[in-house]
Amino acid sequence: MTTSLFALPPALQNNPLLTFGRGIAAYSEVKPEHIAPAIQFLLGHAQTAVDAATDPKTPSSWDALAEPLEDATEALGRSWGVISHLNSVADTPELRAAYGEMLPEVTAFFSSLGQNLALYKKFKELKNSPDFAKLNRAQQKVIENSLRDFRLGGAELSDADKPRFSTIQDEQAILGKAFSDHVLDATDGFVHLVTNKADLAGLPEDAIAAAADTAQQKHLEGWAFTLHFPSYYPVMQYSENRELRRLMYQAYVTRSSDLAPEYGKGKLAWDNAQNMLDQLRLRDEEARMLGFANYAALSLAPKMANTVDEVDLFLTNFAIKSKPFAQKDWQELCEYAKAELGFIDGLEPWDIPFAAERLKQARYSFSENELKQYFPLPKVLNGLFQVIQTLFGVKIEAADLPTWHADVQSFAVKDLAGKIRAYFYLDPYARPGKRGGAWMDDARGRRELANGEIQIPIAYLVCNFAPPVKVDGVLRQPTITHDDVITLFHESGHGLHHLLTQVSALGVSGINGVEWDAVELPSQFMENFCWEWEVLEKMTAHAQTGKPLPRELFEKILAAKNFQNGLATLRQIVMSLTDWRLHSRFDAKAAKGHAVLDVSRNIADQYNIIPQPEISRWINSFSHIFAGGYAAGYYSYKWAEVLSADAYSAFEEAAKLTGSVLDAKTGTRYREEILEVGGSRPAAESFKAFRGREPSIDALLRHGGLA
């Protein structure tokens, strides 16, 4: 269905942000000039629904109160979601400006919704009415979550405080967008041209071809390297040109900082130092207005963890357990680099990935680039789909949905009877104007409509793999690294959580309403299959020969699985602790200049093994916590890893009996108790229903070689 949900005035009848109704947007038709008229119309429509809901004559019931409000806010949220998505994957100056123009108005509306005392009273009346007991569990959870969110949204604040609270929300939204824009601009703005092929020694053929391709696109002669990860990281891993590695590293770690003009061809206008301080001050003020000691405490209100100290202790204990393994990793790396690579004066930061890759090759006799040749993306996708189909009793087939770029693919998820349960998009490759990293997002949620029909869910899976390149005029099928394979499985886990839900109340279907520190459980769970022979054997085919991954090479990558994992784990914990301490112990009000950077340095000095270089400004591009919703929540990755490793151990236990980790019986239980229930019950209950007990850290330590 792709007709509007509303009667539209003539001027808006061809606006693609208003005409897709409950269907799928025509992404390629959305223009910057469509944004303001559509969003202003939808804001007006949503406000009318709020006014009707708060009318004293409106009954405090699900049908009269909750559902009409959900209809109106969903329409606004979905159109705004299309715009936000395009802003992330197809950024242009015009789109960015149009998005930025409406962002404060959208933020202000949702902020006012959370503070609406009349609406809050209506929801409280519904909660306390006899009708509440007649609602299903998912609907009850929506009401309970709504009451919590009203309290967190400032509904109980005085009329004198509410305007300031709204301003805080607006300013945070604007600052978060600016932070993200600065990182993207700094990443897009750097190009390093190499004109002498001898300077490319050590780089894999596909990295050289990609650099030639980039140069051609930019009308340059030679090989162009950027700070987009698929271009940047092969240089750090393989380039024998130490000067090239140094130049790229310095540009990368100074993005969006005061040092960017010196090292990264950046602009001082993109420096995020003050932006971070401003965001931290606003978050602290918001928390205190709501009666919390700090923003970390506020962030825990809708999470699994209970107290600020509990999270701090979890992270510091993890750091203590990891540190001896990290020290051993670092010592091995330094000794190898000195003895075999001639780094007599020690390793510089730009030498570390290079030395680690060489040590890995020496110890396990394979290189990441050699391994990469066995992972053509189409074959990997097929293997991923086979895992999903075997475990969860569904079929995945190609679809033909409207897209925003020629590289984007779409798929239908069907049950075994052929009925469509969901759709999803895959946007696999890095390109200019596309935000870095990988993520899953919700394009449409599952819900039961007023007429009894089920609206099926749609998800975006976005990655930034190296795109296919032409070699000698021939376009090669894209191959991805094993790390990329893990990323793809990770994001598909989020996707499955959203797509396989059987909950019909939008607020808690799929990933909606799931505690933030448990939302990574399904994604990290899926990563485990990337280390199983029965899975890899079927999803590999050498790019030239077509032969599957040899068992001998698999045994090597398995042996290398936890290579340098002590250092990698400690790095994640240092990032998590930096986030946590900034939101729990940092005096943002009194802080100035590089105070945020100083916190990160102090934590690194206390817990990390590798010294943080003087020029590093990594935190200035830490988008997860300053633009990506993980503020006082980055610890969630490690917290959820405990849950996901323990959940996966159920499949390992099944394999001892059945001979396969792809055990459909265990997969069905996991689907029913974790994936299908979404946020309709607490994550702790879902985990216990699946595992039969409380979670244990033992499996994670064992999987990570830290036991």
Active site residues: 491
Q: How far apart are CA 237 and CA 193, in angstroms?
A: 18
- DSSP per-residue string spanning 276-325: HHHHHHHHHHHHHHTT-SSHHHHHTTTSS---HHHHHHHHHHHHHHHHHH
Angle among Cα 108, 292, 679 to the nearest 5 degrees reads 65
DSSP bridge partners of 224: 193
Angle among Cα 555, 556, 558 to the nearest 5 degrees reads 65
DSSP bridge partners of 396: 413
Of 377, 378, 414, 419, nearest in space to 395 by CA: 414
Q: How far apart are CA 49 and CA 640, in angstroms?
A: 38
E strand or H helix at 192: strand 191-194
CB atoms within 10 A of CB 405: 14
E strand or H helix at 394: strand 394-398
Strands 458-465 and 420-429: parallel
Helices (H) then strands (E): counts for the chain: 27, 11
- DSSP per-residue string spanning 522-535: HHHHHHGGGG-HHH
Q: How far apart are CA 253 and CA 259, in angstroms?
A: 9
Q: Where would I find the H helices in 16-66?
A: 32-54
**Rg for the chain (alpha carbons), in Å?**
25
- DSSP per-residue string spanning 491-513: HHHHHHHHHS----SGGGSTTTT
